[in-house]
Amino acid sequence: MKICVLGLGYIGLPTSLLLANAGNTVLGVDINSNIVEKLNRNELPFKEPSLDELFKKAKNNFQASSSVQSSEAYIIAVPTPLESEMKMADLDAVKSASDAIAKVLTDGQIVILESTVPPGTSEHFVLPILRKKGINTIYFAHCPERAIPGRTLHEMIHNDRIIGGLNEESAEKVKNLYSSFVKGNIFITDTKTAEFVKLMENTFRDINIALANEFSLLAEEANINVWEAINLANKHPRVNILKPGPGVGGHCIAIDPMFLAEKSSKARIITLAREINSSMPVHVGKMINEMVKDVKNPMITLLGLAYKGNVDDIRESPTFKIKRIAENEGMSVKLYDPLVHHYPGNSSTLEEAAKNSDCLVLITDHDLFKEIDPKQLSMRHKNLIDTRNILDHNFWKDVGYRVKILGIGNSKYDSDES
């Protein structure tokens, strides 16, 4: 099949390459000419496990371009950010992609929307654009992606998939297309239910992380260790509490729940969970303040720019919020993330980032932070805040650090008293 994929980001590019490897001829389209040029020079615009190998194998069946060509099928995989003032989905990129397809669309072709959208968007927003030229038969489906950065390819192949078809024929045609690389089960429903399902999935996770975060705040007040408590609660066969942390980042969990809330006043737990998770950087800011309160002109070092461990993705990362909070308190802030390249202000070595610092704040749970040897660092004051509870705290204390861990109340584990 000749397939045109619009949007060559974290979802569109891996999807294009999987389809190309399955024997389809894929034209990947992006409005960002840097991405197009890079791909046509055989370079990948971002890192993701096994993507490199797949790119090499897909080469003959894949080409990048800045413009859409008439194809048997089109997949829209463009971003749908949250419009910051109104807290509603910004559908501009979906509109541009749909407009571009409408120009070349002919009778009997397939259009798939993968981008995450508020319920009703396929029917009321995308389809009217596609039908503008008076086309009789369009096979249309909404097929939300479900892959997690860091395991994108594995999950795209093995996860079950939902297809929200405009009608049965559309759903069957789209199912055939995805069957060329999906090994998970494919379930069929209507477009609006598929849109709703995707948002429910990400909201479920956001609410559960908010619960873990709330437990961590309560545990700090009650002077207990939330990590030990969660571990014990999770011994219950039907309990699975997630992990607290410095806040929820990434392009999905921190945004998609608001697509459910934007048209309804009934979305109460959803908005509350968002509030709790968004307030975690403020809480980390307070922990930092407390740690350096007796230091004149404090300088702190934030470990991790990526929104979660072992990826180089910085979208919506809580680090930026924590940086701003600390700077507004008059602190100097240094940054260190060895996985993130070309970010202004990112120190090239940990030694440089920690030199003369008054507090290290671990924000991202990268595995390689566990290997840090505190003896190698020339800090001005030996203070450590671990917002993910991943370091060997006794080791850090043994070499003279005051250690504070998110979710652990003072009296039991604070280094001053232990």
For the question of residue 198 being annotated catalytic, the response is: yes
For ligand SAJ, what does the binding mask look like between residues 209 and 238, x meaning CB under 6 A? x-----------------------------
Half-sphere exposure for 331 (CA within 13 Å, toward CB): 30
Instruction: Return d(Cα 69, Cα 172) in angstroms, integer.
Output: 24
Within positions 331 to 350, which residues make up the interface with ligand SAJ, using CB under 6 A?
A: none
Q: Which is nearer to ligand SAJ, 254 or 360 (CB)?
A: 254
Q: Which range binds ligand SAJ by CB under 6 A, 58-66, 78-86, 145-153, 395-403?
A: 145-153
Q: Which is nearer to ligand SAJ, 144 or 298 (CB)?
A: 144
Write out the DSSP string of 141-191: EE----PPTTSHHHHHHHS-EEEEESSHHHHHHHHHHHTTT--S-EEEEEH
For ligand SAJ, the binding residue among 58, 97, 252, 314 (CB under 6 A) is 252
321 is a contact residue toward ligand SAJ (CB under 6 A): no
Q: Which is nearer to ligand SAJ, 205 or 412 (CB)?
A: 205
Instruction: Return d(Cα 161, Cα 193) in angstroms, integer.
Output: 13
What Cα–Cα distance (Å) separates residue 325 from each residue in 32, 292, 302, 362, 406? 32, 14, 12, 16, 17
299 is a contact residue toward ligand SAJ (CB under 6 A): no
In single-letter form, the type of residue at position 130 comes to L
> Judging by DSSP bridges, how do beta strands 139-142 and 82-83 pair with one another?
unpaired
For ligand SAJ, the binding residue among 8, 54, 110, 147 (CB under 6 A) is 147
Looking at 198, 308, 382, 404, which residue is catalytic?
198
> Are 40 and 199 within 8 A, CB to CB?
no
For the question of residue 252 being annotated catalytic, the response is: yes
Q: Which is nearer to ligand SAJ, 358 or 365 (CB)?
A: 365
182 is a contact residue toward ligand SAJ (CB under 6 A): no
242 is a contact residue toward ligand SAJ (CB under 6 A): yes
119 is a contact residue toward ligand SAJ (CB under 6 A): no
Q: Which range binds ligand SAJ by CB under 6 A, 29-37, 86-94, 141-149, 185-193?
A: 141-149
Q: Which range binds ligand SAJ by CB under 6 A, 14-22, 128-136, 242-250, 330-338?
A: 242-250
What Cα–Cα distance (Å) separates residue 362 from each residue in 121, 210, 314, 320? 40, 20, 15, 13
Instruction: Return d(Cα 329, Cα 298) in angstroms, integer.
Output: 10
Q: Which range binds ligand SAJ by CB under 6 A, 100-108, 176-184, 248-256, 366-374?
A: 248-256
> Are 240 and 231 within 8 A, CB to CB?
no
Instruction: Return d(Cα 403, Cα 382) in angstroms, integer.
Output: 9
Residues tagged active-site: 198, 252
Footprint of ligand SAJ (CB under 6 A): 145-149, 201-202, 205, 209, 242-243, 245, 248-250, 252-253, 307-308
